[in-house]
Chain A
Amino acid sequence: MRIGVFVCHCGSNIAGTVDVERVAREALKLPGVVFSDTNKYTCSAPGQESVCSAIKENALDRVVIASCSPRMHEATFRKMIAEKTDLNPYMLEIANIREQCSWVHKDREQGTRKACDLVAMAVAKVSCDRELFTTNLPVERRALVIGGGIAGIQAALDIADAGFPVTLVERESSIGGKMVMLDKTFPTMDCSACICTPKMSEAAENPNIEIKSLTEVESVSGYIGSFDVTLREKAKYVDYDVCTGCGLCETKCPTKKIPSEFNQGLSTRTAIYKPFPQAVPSKPTIDAEHCKKLQSGKCGVCEKVCPTGAIRYDDVDRVTTQRYGAIVVASGYELIDWTGLYGEYGAGRYPDVITGLQFERIVNASGPTEGHILRPSDRTEPKTTVIVKCVGSRDPNKGVSYCSRACCMYAAKHAHQYLDKVPDGTCYVFYMDVRCAGKGYDEFYMRTLQDGAIYVRGRVSKIYPEGDGLVCMGEDTLSGEIVRVKADMVVLETAMVPSRGSDVLASKLNVQRGPEGFFTEAHPKLRPVETNTAGVYLAGVAQGPKDIPDTVAQAGAVASKVIGLFARGQIESNPMLSKVDVSRCSGCRACVDVCPYGALGLVQANLRENSRKVTRTVCQVNEGLCQGCGACSVACRSGALDLLGFSDEGIMQEVEMLCQ
């Protein structure tokens, strides 16, 4: 065994607290070490060069580099060894003497001794290392995008424009998500629908994009480059190949009193319907729950009036399975159900207490009031409007602890729109803080103040009816006064929460979620659109609250990741995976239950034991799914599972070395 130890100064980062020369001298005394050296910056080009030539000149077969965290440069040094020497790149160990040593110690003697210990442990571990080899896995160049809001549409368009086929799955009957429901977008006051609907029709017309509406993900198996996904397309009761989208059925449907989801319950729709005129696909579906024909067999008007004979009352769900190389999660958000949380705001009993999204529909020219600001109860113009921010947000006692990020800006937008349309109106905004970090955002807020919006710093404690209006009670925390504002309408800017079913989707995809329920990115700064499951990416609010510009930017970032993967066409597998010694496995399934990636399963194996043939249940590792986390090797009671490159033996040797 010929081990070489390379100790890095990292400028003064390490050398300032650790006597690196002494660490190198001490290393030479360790068993198997035949060479040691120090370097000003080992990761730099001359540093790497000197390590490589030392490996060749001294015929080293194992290498320890004592430097920064392996998360920083382990990959750099592996690549260096693989490309510039004949050594197997997995015969390398990193001793982290920076983050876990020099940076946290002040005393030079203690720091140096600890660095010596860390190097000794790495030497013990590298002695147990074995050569590992990567394999190349093929990539299916087809992407699945889950969620047809602006994040999903943008990601799908960008991937499709690079020439790769995309399936865009949306569980509602039209794509467009929340953005298409909005009236204007801050801070430029572009018409939201005018910039969103062209994207929707672009997606519909792109030959590389297949839109599947009313469709949900049933199950997912496989791994990066090769996910097998089963989709359930719900019965639409309309044959889209025949339907021309003329809309005659909608005008004749006798069931007309169903609250419109698109207009947030402020108008009604029919049982056969398109949620809004610019819907994509631009064809109606039947809402089976409310359809007289499907519920009681009596009616059939739409079938009679349909000029093309497209109605299919006997339609059923269609289940299909397709292979995808990458999956984009763009499942978006919904607004927190404030009615169950804020009893003192009337818990939904007062019709003129509305949500921000309802206000968007009211102020929209194609909304239920054709853009006239009229309150729901009596359709009169509210002369005083109160906007309440942070309803549910930043309120761990009632709602969620996080800030929903977009509300400060759309509250300012709502105030601006209200004052614009009701020039003699008064608008109060109750706020905790005003957070307007974004290009042109603070200027927009300032303009809203100039418009005459009255910002009151404090939360509304109670809303109660008085006469034909509502009284908002709260504290102005800047003056310390209790304020009571008589309002005609109250707009609650409610918190964004993960869309319903995110938990189920997360377990199907084996993707983690944070405590607040949003999907977790692989690294908050350096890998913001990837997940810990390779091949699954995040775009939009599914990852955390954000506004439209950030959502679109993130969707573009996701697309570039997916396009990069597809362009390579194959992926190099990570060889540091779990390995099972079937002779020691009892098939207890402890490992199966702890595996966060679903990479372990039980199989019947034919084995030879004591020179007899036996068939036993043993565990099996799916190397495509295994991420090498090591949870199974900890859980395994009989020591049958081991993590290659991180073996139990290596760890025990490290511990023994430390105890010497």
Chain B
Amino acid sequence: MAQTQFAFFPGCSAHSTGRAYTESFMYVAERLGFEVSEIPEWNCCGASAGHLRSHDLGDALPARSLALSEETFGDRPVLALCAGCYINLRRALVHARRSPEDLARIDGLIGREWKASAEVMNGLEPFMDPEVQSRLSSCVTRPLKGLKVACYYGCAMVRPRDVCAFDDDEDPRSMERILSLTGAEPVEWSFKTECCGASHQVIVQRDMKPMVGRILENAAAAGAEAVATACPLCMLNLDMREAEANRQRAELGKPPLRLPVYYFTELIAASFGGKADEIGIKRHFTPAVETVEAARSQGVVA
């Protein structure tokens, strides 16, 4: 039986910068019969600074939310759409599962009897189940026929491998498998796990500037017409800074890239026939509606 019930950990992005991810994920989830319920009273996952400030804080912040989920939803897997949330929740889970002493230490920090029994999943994992995949295929009414897409995982989702371990850390392929069901054609490219520099965008802007351009250029060179992501931070960074990358290219006399960036769930939702304003694709910085519509109109089935 495929897993269809999930506890939802929104983090700071799901209702703000990552709204398009949440909207498109829920659109798809509803049609695949997923039941997704938000964890009551959840708190910040501790990304960026928490775990660096103190290891205990790095364990305690995610553990509290996971404990609340366990109290409300039992063993239901916790869904963390943001790669930052995912890695932090998972790290606390891995730490708690190392030994009974570690679990007791963390439980002491949060003052709750957390058992660390439920799994933590990222946005891709619910779609990796073969049963879900066959249901997904049957929901595709407007395939994105031939849309060449570069699947971008970013650096945080697959590493470190003893924490994540849901896919190969150097050459992950789960997003490719999922998106190929929508009629899109994933391309082979080399920068799918390269860092986009998102966490540097405030402090070392000069160093991170070329990072976005490099990723998008590699995708374009591999023949991609679009980039798909599964993380709101990657999305924000790639989508928002494409214009700047294009300005830099213009200085060198190169043409602009015109590479829309999507959440992978937006592409699934589009292949289900979702309207542009209900699946998030109108919310992007880089225009994203046209590419989807063009692909869908080619792939109309009867």
Taking beta carbons and an 8 Å cutoff, which residues of A are in contact with B?
342-344, 346-347, 349, 397, 462-466
CB contacts (< 8 Å) of B170 on chain A: these are 342-344, 347
With the chains together, A138 CA to B222 CA distance in Å? 70
B residues in contact with A343, CB < 8 Å: 168-172
Give the residue name and chain of the A residue nearest to B191 (CB). A464
Could you jot down 7 A-B contacts, CB within 8 Å? A342-B170, A343-B170, A343-B172, A344-B171, A344-B190, A346-B190, A462-B190
Residues of B within 8 A of A463 (CB): 190
Contact assessment for A464 and B171 in the assembled complex, using a CB-CB cutoff below 8 Å: no
CB-nearest residue of chain B to A339: B171
**Whole-angstrom distance from the CB of B170 to the nearest CB of chain A?**
3
**SS of B interface (majority):** loop
A470 → B minimal CB distance (Å):
10
Question: For A347, what are the chain B residues with a Cβ–Cβ distance below 8 Å?
Answer: 170-171
Asked whether A344 lies within 8 Å of B188 as measured between CB atoms, the reply is no
With a CB–CB cut-off of 8 A, which chain A residues contact B171?
343-344, 347
Residues of A within 8 A of B169 (CB): 343
B218 within 8 A of A: yes
A347-B171, A349-B188 are known; give 17 further A-B pairs, CB within 8 A: A342-B170, A343-B168, A343-B169, A343-B170, A343-B171, A344-B170, A344-B171, A344-B190, A344-B193, A346-B190, A347-B170, A397-B161, A463-B190, A464-B190, A464-B191, A464-B218, A466-B221
**What sequence of 0s and 1s flags, for each residue 160-202 of chain B, a beta carbon within 8 Å of any chain A beta carbon?**
0100000011111000000000000000101101100000000
A464 CA / B150 CA spacing, docked (Å): 15
Chain B nearest CB: distance from A58 CB in Å?
A: 60
Q: How far is the CB of A14 from chain B (nearest CB, A)?
A: 43
CA distance A349 to B172 in the complex (A): 15
Contacts of B193 in A (CB 8 A): 344
A259 smallest CB distance to B (angstroms): 22
- Alpha-carbon distance A343/B173, docked complex (angstroms): 11
B169, B190, B193 pick with most chain A CB within 10 angstroms: B190
The interface residues of chain B lying within 8 Å CB-to-CB of A344 are: 170-171, 190, 193
**Selected contact of A465 from candidates B161, B172, B190, CB within 8 Å:** B190
* Nearest-CB residue, chain A, relative to B168: A343
Closest to A462 in B: B190
Contacts of B188 on A, CB cut-off 8 Å?
Answer: 349
Q: Smallest CB-CB separation from A345: which chain B residue?
A: B170
* Least distance between B172 CB and chain A CB atoms (Å): 8
- Chain A residues whose C-beta falls within 8 Å of the C-beta of B191 in the assembled complex: 464
Task: Please indicate the chain A residues that have their CB under 8 angstroms from the CB of B221 in the complex.
Answer: 466
A464 to B188, CA, bound (A): 11
Distance to closest chain B CB from A319 (angstroms): 42
Give the distance in Å from the alpha carbon of A349 to the alpha carbon of B190 in the complex.
11
Identify the interface centre among B161, B168, B170, B172: most chain A CB within 10 Å of its CB.
Answer: B170
CA distance A462 to B195 in the complex (A): 12
Whole-angstrom distance between the alpha carbons of A464 and B170 in the complex?
13
Closest A residue, CB atoms, query B193: A344
Closest to B192 in A: A343
In the complex, the 5 A-B pairs of residues with the closest C-beta atoms, listed nearest first? A343-B171, A343-B170, A464-B190, A344-B170, A347-B171
Distance between Cα atoms of A464 and B171 in the complex (Å): 12
Q: How far is the CA of A310 from the CA of B194 in the complex (A)?
A: 59
Measured CA separation A513–B226 after assembly (Å): 51
